[in-house]
Structure 1
Amino acid sequence: MFTKFSSSRFLGMAFACLQRFKQQRIHTFSLLFALGLSLTLAISACSPSASNNGTTQTASPNPVASGTTIRIGYQKASTVLYALKARRELEKAFATSGSSVTWSEFPAGPPMLEALNAGSIDFGYTGESPPIFAQAGGIPLVYVAYDPWSPKAEAIVVPKDSPIKNVAELKGKKVAFAKGSNANYLLVKALEKAGVQYSDIQPATLPPADARAAFEGKKVDAWAIWDPYLAAAEAATGARILADATELAPNRGYYLAAKSFVDAKPDVLKIVLDRVKKVSDWAKNNPSEVAKLLSPALGIDAPVLEIAEKRREYDVLPLTDEVITKQQEIADT
């Protein structure tokens, strides 16, 4: 539940946040985190979804210009946004204003953020690494919220009959992963912990579908991947986990928006986040229903998806100093 802030307190906190970044000499791109934090606090300040006594209230309609189009980027494996689309929650929210919602599907976070840069979408969700690569490329994005994914929801796996017993034995081996993804960062940190140089492996940068085909065809020796693809590989092939993200990577997810969208339509963004929160709460309490919803789209059996659902956490949270600092560590790496 978002905390309510007075406008004066919000401005003071935002200014203090920016000053703290300046004093600590954190890299330039972190100012975008400050913008994201400021935006989240601003949304919190005017949000009717929480009161001072913690009682949930029904959100009242916000003024949205008639004819507004809200463009959302999503991945089938991104549970909340896929469920948001399937349940038509945004369409319901904007029905009375005459606004519309369009949805664009992407295989992974990096191409989604390329679309955001091109002006094709306004809002999306990715793992922790794609926005860093996007920022390095100059894409004007804003972090507006995060969710606390579980570190058990991504891992490095090998075939069940592989002679490889630990991450150190990946030296000289071919490892598949999606470039710029959260699994990319997990692989880097796992190799670092095992004392293996990144240059000592043979990277095979592949999207999930191609990586699974290569993994099953024994064309790669290992695969760094996230749920539900991880759970599916375990169930279908007996894939064996060498290491998950425990003590290696937080494996958080981020809700991101184009800065132009944030600046021009903060009222629309507030409604979007309200509905995202509603669906996130539903998903958290209904893993079986979520699995049944995702199964036809992903082509993965519902019982397998339920395993993946129970390995992750749900929420829609405002950014904190701890989250920002960890994202900076990922960027530095």
Structure 2
Amino acid sequence: MISRRLLLAAPALIIPPTLAHAAPEEKEFEFLGVRDPQLGMQLAVAEHFGLFREEGVNLTFRWQPSGGDVLTVMGSGFPIGVGSQLGQIALAAQNMPVKILTGLADISDTQGIVLGPHCRISNIKELEGKRVAFTQGNNSPLMFAKLAERFGFDHTKLQMIPMAPSEGVIAASKGDVDILLSWQPFLHRLTTMGGTLFATGGAHYFTGRKVVLPEAEKLLYSHSVILANESWIQGKPNTLQALLRALIKADARFKVDRAGCMPGLQRVLRIGPEPLRVMTEANRYGVLIDRPLVNSYRFTNDWAVGIKRIPTPQTPESGITPVVLEKVAPDNVTWRAGA
């Protein structure tokens, strides 16, 4: 007969699920992070709540100013970090064995177009001739080409003026330019100065209301992702699985308790509460390999080839690997090569 004492002790004998997994090959390692909720929400939540430690790994973040800096460091051989689909495409085009392990967020709605407070249009054709502040080196100008294709105006008549984002906000607020083409929180900053949100990658507002665009008709496609060197994918699969389990926990925690996670995000990412709110609301988070991630990959590849940023096209079949995520959460993988 089972004694009451044994019954009381039994819960302590149950092995927690996280301890049932194979031990990570690398328990402590450096990870290239960016203090940006578009790239690092799950990383920050996992760090703040000790979710990496729960999975048996300890990350030391080597913070970078931007995803472009992550690309540079990984190009020198660093094994793992956060970035964008462009990072993997650019590295693969240089024969660097770097793959996308998973998407973290659809960040297309964090980029957009804001009319300055001195700019008013009643018809989309009135965009022609307007002065646009934009930052060189990214594909956001394609938003105007997509709008022109769909709504019929000549986007080549826009006057595109290169500026840093903060400079563009000031110029648009003063009327030195008419339009800001940028990303959050700079879009929000201009709207607080009297600017009008015109469009984002996944929606437009110029009819007087928000019109969410179907996936196939978005103006821009972009994702944040986890990048890993092939040597880690082959040689440290348990480490990478532990990493992704922690990020999936963080993603779920944020979705059920956003308010409770915000102080942790502020602490780790060092971003004030209002811009943090704006940026997190613009992202569609998910530790996923899905069709939208593939759309971002193909969209970015076509742009990079078109402007000769890369010498040869890259494919999602070669650039995105589901082998780690499908071991951890197979339901989070809804696209595979050949699908």
Q: Does 1:123 align with 2:81?
A: yes
Q: Which residue of 2 aligns with 1:324?
A: 294
- Write out per-residue CA displacement over residues 148-187 of structure 1, whole angstroms, 9 at most, x where no aligned residue: 5375443211212313556644444443344444645434
Cα drift, residue 275 of structure 1: 1.0
Match of 2:285 among 314, 319, 331: 314
Q: Which residue of 2 aligns with 1:240?
A: 196
Normalised TM-score (structure 2) = 0.63
| Counterparts in 2 of 1:198 and 1:272: CA distance versus 1, 3 Å | farther
* Secondary structure at the counterpart of residue 286 of structure 2: coil
| Counterparts in 2 of 1:301 and 1:117: CA distance versus 1, 3 Å | same
**Cα distance in 2 for residues equivalent to 1:156 and 1:286:** 30
Normalised TM-score (structure 1) = 0.64
- Write out per-residue CA displacement over residues 217-257 of structure 1, whole angstroms, 9 at most, x where no aligned residue: 545432233344433443x3232112222332344433322
Query: What amino acid sits opposite 1:239 in the alignment?
Result: G
Query: What amino acid sits opposite 2:115 in the alignment?
Result: V
- Ranked by relative contact order (alpha carbons within 8 Å, sequence separation 6 or more), the top structure is 2
Structure 1 contact 156–224 (Cα < 8 Å) conserved: yes
Structure 2 contact 55–245 (Cα < 8 Å) conserved: no
Cα drift, residue 129 of structure 1: 4.6
| Counterparts in 2 of 1:200 and 1:257: CA distance versus 1, 3 Å | farther
Structure 1 contact 80–280 (Cα < 8 Å) conserved: yes
* 1:181-196 paired onto structure 2 within 5 Å: 181=138, 183-195=140-152
* Secondary structure at the counterpart of residue 112 of structure 2: strand
Higher Cα radius of gyration: 2
Structure 2 contact 37–276 (Cα < 8 Å) conserved: no
- Write out per-residue CA displacement over residues 190-213 of structure 1, whole angstroms, 9 at most, x where no aligned residue: 354455566544444555445444
| Counterparts in 2 of 1:204 and 1:143: CA distance versus 1, 3 Å | farther
Gaps of 5+ in 1: 1-55
**Cα distance in 1 for residues equivalent to 2:54 and 2:163:** 37
* Secondary structure at the counterpart of residue 32 of structure 2: strand
TM superposition outliers: structure 1 runs of 4+ over 6 Å:
none
Cα drift, residue 328 of structure 1: 1.6
Once superposed, what is the RMSD of the aligned Cα atoms?
A: 3.6
Cα drift, residue 57 of structure 1: 5.0
* 1:272-283 paired onto structure 2 within 5 Å: 272-283=243-254
| Counterparts in 2 of 1:310 and 1:323: CA distance versus 1, 3 Å | closer
Q: How many residues align?
A: 270
| Counterparts in 2 of 1:214 and 1:262: CA distance versus 1, 3 Å | farther
Percent of aligned pairs sharing the same letter: 19
Q: Does 1:89 align with 2:27?
A: no
